């Protein structure tokens, strides 16, 4: 599928989400996602925060700055990847997304990924990891490589907000980016 078709399909999906009044969290803004529609890597977080809700863009606060700087360290720009969340609207008080909210947004993320067709999915934090692989812990699986059918690779990472809270987690977070670069180089 060419770039123009993917852009059109993603725009239609976004419009469909905007019109879906059954989705939870309608009091906050839709943060659909951004980046290259032909991205080989898709980063998926849990839900937008206050800055993301205001700007309608994923990962633009302190966590986003860390994500962007780590991408640059391995020779990538934000525009080279696609960035989104499992839940596309901000939960109140920055709370964790509920299972009901995750389930409600599930079909939209699945369709978004089907349009983009990434080679690598990087989950940021436990909620995004457990969306794909239930019942495993991010602390034990950070940086591991999981291979799925159709040559899809999943790499769980700590959420950038967690990396900002401690040096040990930050170092693991950054080390995983170099692993991502190695894996990306192997699938070119």
Residue ranges making up the domain that contains 41: 3-186
DSSP code of residue 90? P
Phi/psi at 41 (5° precision):
-125, 130
Tell me the Cα Rg of the chain. Answer: 15
CATH number at 67 reads 3.40.470.10
DSSP β-bridge partners for residue 187: none
Q: What is the pLDDT of residue 5?
A: 97
Q: What is the pTM of this model?
A: 0.96
Q: Give the pLDDT score at 188.
A: 63
Do 99 and 17 form a contact (C-beta atoms < 8 A)? no
Task: Give me the number of domains the chain comprises.
Answer: 1
The label of the residue with tokens 């700590």 reads: 158
Comparing C-alpha atoms, which of 109, 167, 58 is closest to residue 68? 58
pLDDT tens sequence for the chain (188 residues): 899 999 999 999 999 999 999 999 999 999 999 999 999 999 999 999 999 999 999 999 999 999 999 999 999 999 999 999 999 999 999 899 999 999 999 999 999 999 999 999 999 999 999 999 999 999 999 999 999 887 899 999 999 999 999 999 999 999 999 999 999 999 86
């Amino acid at each position: 599928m060419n770039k123009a078709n993917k852009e059109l399909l993603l725009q239609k999906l976004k419009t469909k989400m905007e019109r879906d009044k059954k989705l939870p969290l309608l009091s906050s803004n839709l943060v659909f996602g951004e980046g290259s529609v032909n991205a080989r890597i898709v980063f998926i977080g849990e839900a937008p925060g206050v800055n993301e809700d205001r700007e309608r863009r994923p990962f633009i606060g302190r966590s986003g700055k860390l994500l962007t700087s780590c991408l640059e360290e391995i020779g990538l720009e934000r525009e080279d990847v696609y960035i989104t969340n499992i839940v596309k609207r901000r939960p109140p008080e920055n709370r964790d997304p509920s299972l009901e909210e995750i389930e409600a947004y599930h079909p939209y993320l699945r369709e978004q990924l089907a349009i983009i067709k990434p080679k690598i999915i990087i989950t940021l934090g436990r909620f995004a990891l457990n969306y794909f692989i239930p019942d495993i812990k991010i602390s034990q699986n950070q940086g591991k490589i999981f291979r799925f059918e159709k040559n899809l690779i999943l790499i769980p990472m700590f959420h950038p907000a967690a990396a900002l809270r401690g040096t040990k987690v930050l170092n693991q977070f950054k080390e995983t980016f170099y692993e991502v670069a190695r894996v990306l180089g192997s699938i070119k």
